[in-house]
Amino acid sequence: MDSDESAAVEPEAAARASTLRIARAWQAVGHVHQAVDGYSRLMARYPDSAEAAAAGRAILALAAAYERAGRFHLALDLYARLERRA
């Protein structure tokens, strides 16, 4: 059984994987707010999962990119989201 089939067998695993995939898709097309919402949902609903860890890293990377671009208020908002989840 490949990884897609095993995820389909376990609904929670499928939900985690799908939510992460959708958040990444939103980010890829430039819809950062929707992506962050998806990442945040993953972190809130499945805090101990590998997908939540990946979501946290994605938010951290977005915050760092905002900081480098001088968009400090957006970076601070994302850092605050991560702190609230810790």
pLDDT at 79 exceeding the cut of 90: yes
- Cα–Cα distance between 9 and 13 in angstroms, integer? 8
State mean pLDDT over 78-82. Answer: 94
Domain that holds residue 44: 3-85
Per-residue model confidence as pLDDT tens digits over 28-54: 999 999 999 999 999 999 999 999 999
Split into its structural domains, the chain has a count of 1
What does the pLDDT read at residue 85?
Answer: 81
The DSSP annotation for 18-85 comes to: HHHHHHHHHHHTT-HHHHHHHHHHHHHHSTTSHHHHHHHHHHHHHHHHHHHTT-HHHHHHHHHHHHHH
- Cα–Cα distance between 77 and 18 in angstroms, integer? 25
The CATH number assigned to the domain holding 44 equals 1.25.40
